[in-house]
């Protein structure tokens, strides 16, 4: 029987269930909480409420969609914080606002709970293959203790700095990712409006070195008009919104990312649960009848 601590997941969606599978392969036991009591492939034990899961777990990983979900699962008499013992380790892999992370850190410190903010770079393919990049904010000692967990789910851990640094680095990365996709989509839009053959255009862009492997993957999906969600538009737009809000607070001018946020907001409105690369479909639809 494994002597590794039970790892509890608060949230067990597409990313968390894949991380959980890799942790099981590494010898850990896992259990999870979701509001629905469902998730994964049916092999994981679910525990409710979050407080009960936290009481069992040696390490608790939060992986929820947004700030509101994190607040609902952490706080209150049935929240995870009510169940965590002093000295416990909470790893928050959710992408949330830096101020939310800092507020959670203050609450954890008052209860002698150790917190690492550790959002991850990568989508479901990287989560499945264990090739995520962990963007960790927190103390070096806490990150050292969590390293075997991070090694099971990812290929690299970056210590970004103190608590809140992981959240900020994740917004930098996703801002670049979203804004770059918007630029590629605009290039495709011009090419189609100018009369270039669609297949030739997508094939040509797949060959040129100026487009990243990630965005080439999105181009392939757009060519096939297959927007199966690896990173849903509703989550990408949420991350861009968090970035723009904190950038305004920091008086950091981000005009290109602001423009990209508008395109991704339209994509979220029309295709909320499809991949954020559905922006290609939105843009292509605008020029579909262009002579």
Q: Which residues are catalytic?
A: 170
Residue 1, CB half-sphere, CA atoms under 13 Å: how many?
2
- Angle at the Cα of 282 from the Cα atoms of 217 and 268, rounded to 5 degrees: 85
β-sheet bridge partners, residue 154: 132
Instruction: Find all residues with CB under 8 Å of 141, minimum gap 6, and list them.
Output: none
Instruction: Find all residues with CB under 8 Å of 275, minimum gap 6, and list them.
Output: 218, 221, 227, 228, 229, 230, 231, 232, 233
Residue 235, CB half-sphere, CA atoms under 13 Å: how many?
23
Pair 16, 32: CB distance under 8 Å: yes
Cα torsion angle, 208, 209, 215, 216, sign: positive
Phi–psi pair at 263, nearest 5 degrees: -65, -40
């Amino acid at each position: 029987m494994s002597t590794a601590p039970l790892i509890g997941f608060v949230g067990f969606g597409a990313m968390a269930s894949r991380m959980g599978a890799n942790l099981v392969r590494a010898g850990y036991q896992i259990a999870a909480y979701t509001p629905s009591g469902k998730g994964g492939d049916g092999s994981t034990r679910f525990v409710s409420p979050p407080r009960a899961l936290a009481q069992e777990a040696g390490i608790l990983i939060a992986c929820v969609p947004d700030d509101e979900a994190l607040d609902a699962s952490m706080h209150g008499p049935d929240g995870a914080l009510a169940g965590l013992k002093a000295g416990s380790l909470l790893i928050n892999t959710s992408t949330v606002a830096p101020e939310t992370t800092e507020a959670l850190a203050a609450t954890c410190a008052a209860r002698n709970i150790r917190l690492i903010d550790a959002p991850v770079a990568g989508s479901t393919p990287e989560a499945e293959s264990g090739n995520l990049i962990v963007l960790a904010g927190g103390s070096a000692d806490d990150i050292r203790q969590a390293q075997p967990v991070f090694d099971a789910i990812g290929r690299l851990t970056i210590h970004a700095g103190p608590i809140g640094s992981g959240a900020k680095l994740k917004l930098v990365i996703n801002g670049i990712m979203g804004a770059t996709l918007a630029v590629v989509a605009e290039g495709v839009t011009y090419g189609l409006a100018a009369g270039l053959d669609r297949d030739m255009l997508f094939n040509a862009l797949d060959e040129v070195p100026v487009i990243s492997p990630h965005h080439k993957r999105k181009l392939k999906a757009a060519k096939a008009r297959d927007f199966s969600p690896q990173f849903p538009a509703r989550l990408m737009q949420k991350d861009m919104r968090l970035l723009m809000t904190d950038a305004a607070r920091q008086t950091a001018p981000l005009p290109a990312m602001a423009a990209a946020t508008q395109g991704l907001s339209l994509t979220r409105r029309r295709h909320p649960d499809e991949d954020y690369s559905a922006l290609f479909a939105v843009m292509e639809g605008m020029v579909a009848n262009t002579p």
